[in-house]
Structure formats: structure tokens, C-alpha cells
């Protein structure tokens, strides 16, 4: 087989296989990258915020919908975490599963 034909066959195989590989995951490669980027940006904004402890908040994203879970010390920290998530580009909705647990409890 000629080198050029070999490359064409390889590229065709990749083009055909890519949708099949991602179909089982329920997300396309672009969606996975977008969701990962959103999660990273939300988490980074929380870790950089001086008022909340972003390390106690988990962030998951699926198709632009961010789910926040974990614990914060006050309603103000809760509200700030939700607000930070909503400000990130690409976030279509925020689902809130954050628990408020004041110090000493």
C-alpha cells in the first residue's frame, strides 16, 4: 500500500471510530472538554475567593449544568459559592447540594 493511501485509511478509520467511541459515554469529546473546562473554572474561582473555603465544595458539570456539593460554614459562604458558579461562562444552571454547617457542629 502506498504511504498516502495508508494515511487516508488511518484518517478515515479515526473519523468513523470517533463517534462510536464517544457514543457509549453519552457525551461528545467537545462536551466533555467543555464540562471539564467549566468545572475547572468554577473550582478555581472558589479556591481564589478569600471569603469561602473552596476546598470543601465539590463541583461536577454535565452539559453545562453545575452541581455543587460539600459543606460551608455560613449562608453567606453558600450564597457566594452559588454566585461564583453562575458567573462562569458556559454554565447554564447551578444545582445546589451544599450543606451549611457552622463551626463547632
Q: Which residue has the higher pLDDT, 69 or 7?
A: 69
Q: pTM (2 decimals)?
A: 0.69
Classify residue 17: in a domain, yes or no: no
pLDDT band, very low/low/confident/very high, at 1 (cuts 50, 70, 90): low
Find cell 500500500 and name the residue.
Answer: 1
Classify residue 22: in a domain, yes or no: no
Classify residue 90: in a domain, yes or no: yes
Domain coverage including residue 84:
28-100
State CA 20 to chain mean position distance. 23
Instruction: Give me the number of domains the chain comprises.
Output: 1
pLDDT digits (tens, 9 = 90+) for 5-61: 555 555 545 545 444 444 445 556 666 669 999 999 999 999 999 988 889 999 999
Classify residue 42: in a domain, yes or no: yes
Classify residue 91: in a domain, yes or no: yes
| Dihedral in degrees, nearest 10, Cα atoms 11, 16, 17, 23 | 140
Classify residue 64: in a domain, yes or no: yes
CATH number at residue 81: 3.30.1340.30
Classify residue 12: in a domain, yes or no: no
Contact 70, 99 (CB under 8 A): yes
Residue 23: what pLDDT? 44
Amino acid at each position: 500500500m502506498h504511504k498516502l493511501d495508508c494515511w487516508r485509511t488511518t484518517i478515515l478509520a479515526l473519523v468513523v471510530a470517533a463517534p462510536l467511541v464517544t457514543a457509549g459515554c453519552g457525551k461528545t469529546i467537545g462536551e466533555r472538554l467543555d464540562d471539564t473546562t467549566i468545572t475547572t473554572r468554577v473550582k478555581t474561582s472558589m479556591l481564589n475567593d478569600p471569603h469561602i473555603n473552596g476546598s470543601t465544595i465539590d463541583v461536577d458539570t454535565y452539559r453545562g449544568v453545575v452541581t455543587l456539593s460539600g459543606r460551608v460554614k455560613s449562608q453567606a459562604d453558600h450564597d457566594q459559592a452559588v454566585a461564583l458558579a453562575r458567573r462562569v461562562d458556559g454554565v447554564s444552571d447551578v444545582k445546589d447540594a451544599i450543606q451549611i454547617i457552622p463551626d463547632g457542629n
